Amino acid sequence: MIEGFRLGVFSRGRTLWDGLDIAIPDGSAQIVAGPPSSGKTLLLSILRGERRPDAGDVLVSGESLYRGAAGLSRSWRASCGYVPEPSAVDAGLTVADLFRRSALAGGGMRESERKERAARLLEMVGMQGASEWRFPELSASERARATLAAELLRGPKVLFCDGVVAAAGVPFREMLRGLFRALAREGNTVVLVERTIPERWAAAAGDPDPAGPFRVYRLPVPGAAVKGEPG
Amino acid sequence: MTGRPNLWWIDWRLSRGSLVIEAVGRFLFFSFLGFVLLSLLLSGGAFRFLAGNYAVTAVLRPDVPAAEAQGLARKVAALPPVRSAAYRDPEAAWKEFLRSYPGMEALRDDGGNPLPGYIEVRFLPDRLTLADVDLVASALRSVSLVEQVLAGEEGLPRLLRAGRFASLVCWGVFGAFLAGFFLVGTLQERARAVDLAGDFTFLAERGVPPVRLAVFRSAGAAVSGFLLAAAGTASGGGALFLLLRKFPFLEAVIGSPADLLLPRTAAAAVLFSCGAALLCAAAVLLGWRAARPRRT
């Protein structure tokens, strides 16, 4: 369970948001939607233990990320997967390099096993045979999907994605929805931040919970809907 | 699979190709530096050459029996600064004289040998000092068998100053090579750190403290630097050994190949390897500053 209590952020000389409460149960897939420049990426950084909030605290399984032991925040980040918004990357980076990095961050993996799993994951996100493709030459959709596949290599219990659904594009949205639901059904937690969510997703998720400037949607997870629910 | 990443040899895992090329280059350079270092250690800079060419000569009285002269030579040879003390009897002295000044046989027309016997004293390279020369010359002058001691004391200070200057130049060139290695190494590490900045940022975002990354990288560089320097020094020493065996005349300038196996030579090689390891680690840390992971 990830819980943000009374979170506040002061940025660019003003209060971006304050008193924000958010709870993300284990084994759920949630989407935090908000307008541009509302601090979605910042919220993700705070929940990942990367950026201390100016007010409030984040608890993970009941332990404070920012007021507890310093090692907790690091081990939390190490256990999470993170797909950032596509940005400038090294010119020589290939898709295979993403998997190599991910395997390294996860404590190492035999090269043969890594290649085999990378091929399966790439196929799963519709990018079969893309291992040697150069990352800067990929489209935004391909970058988002390749990065997601590389993060899944480590099998993180919690996956944070920033703008992946929007970047992936319409043809891959349903594939991603199925993937996120499957991950949640297996007990993993998925947190997505997006500007908007697809209509079909919104219809399936039902009414969102307001949280500061954001709306929090919960993707229905068949067979595991009550897992990790508070109360 | 969300364990703690193993950061030992992380550079090797991230940029194997460039590391192999650098390791080969460093091994060759350390071989060269090891060769130079061992040559300098054995030769003492210019002092082995000086010690090979400088001698104190004790001219004996004409009536000194050979047995007594040899006994005196043995006693002189036992003095700490002395490498060798050789007695030449009057006949040997006469032959040496004729070799140096051919056509002077007429000096012996009356049958007698006009030259006395003498003892030639040579010094250890590291004991060729004014004090030690004075010690030996004084000891010889106090012996009644000795008529005259030729030590060249008036020109010796100038000779030793020139020797010290030559040694300083030699060590200075060696130090310049080391400094050059450090400079190039720092630039190489800087380039690698910039090249791997994306990987380091990735790891930092996933909970790997940048300080830990830097410490492990420099520790890895220190270990590999030590091993490369030790291997390079060994191969440089091997090359020097073969060179001295093939060209024995070089022993007069550098020293005996057997001296390479002395414990003090081995200790110096280990110290050099430790120093190289420190330089490699420092180069990594300085290069690291160019590409510290950026926190989002």
The predicted-structure confidence for B19-64, as pLDDT tens digits, reads as follows 899 999 999 999 999 999 999 999 888 888 888 889 999 999 888 8
Cross-chain residue pair A77–B205, CB shorter than 8 Å: yes
- Residues from chain B that touch A45, judged by Cβ atoms under 8 A, are 296
The residue ranges of chain A whose pLDDT is under 50 are 225-231
Q: Classify the C-alpha dihedral A171-A173-A176-A181 as positive or negative.
A: negative
Indicate the residue of B2, B10, B14 with minimum beta-carbon distance to A154.
B2
- Residues from chain A that touch B10, judged by Cβ atoms under 8 A, are 104
Cross-chain residue pair A75–B6, CB shorter than 8 Å: no
Indicate the residue of B203, B295, B296 with minimum beta-carbon distance to A105.
B203
Kindly identify which residue of chain B lies nearest to residue A157, measuring between CA atoms: B2
- Give residue B3's pLDDT: 58
- Give residue B170's pLDDT: 93
- Give tens-digit pLDDT for B141-193: 998 889 999 988 888 899 899 989 999 999 999 999 999 999 999 999 998 88
Indicate the residue of A74, A104, A156 with minimum beta-carbon distance to B2.
A156
How far, in Å, CA of A82 to CA of A109, rounded? 19
Is the minimum CB–CB distance between A45 and chain B shorter than 8 Å? Answer: yes
Kindly identify which residue of chain B lies nearest to residue A42, measuring between CA atoms: B296
Indicate the residue of B10, B198, B203 with minimum beta-carbon distance to A90.
B198
Q: Global pTM?
A: 0.75
CB A66 within 8 A of CB A73: yes
Cross-chain residue pair A157–B2, CB shorter than 8 Å: yes
How many alpha carbons fall within 13 Å on the CB side of residue A102?
A: 27
How far, in Å, CA of B31 to CA of A195, rounded? 61
First to last CA, chain A: 12
Alpha-carbon distance A106 to nearest alpha carbon in chain B (angstroms):
4
CB-based contacts of B85, cutoff 8 Å, min separation 6: B73, B74, B76, B77, B119, B120, B121, B122
CB A81 within 8 A of CB A154: yes
CB-based contacts of B259, cutoff 8 Å, min separation 6: B42, B265
How many alpha carbons fall within 13 Å on the CB side of residue A186?
A: 12
ipTM of this complex prediction, to 2 decimal places: 0.77
pLDDT at B291 over 70: no
Alpha-carbon distance B8 to nearest alpha carbon in chain A (angstroms):
11
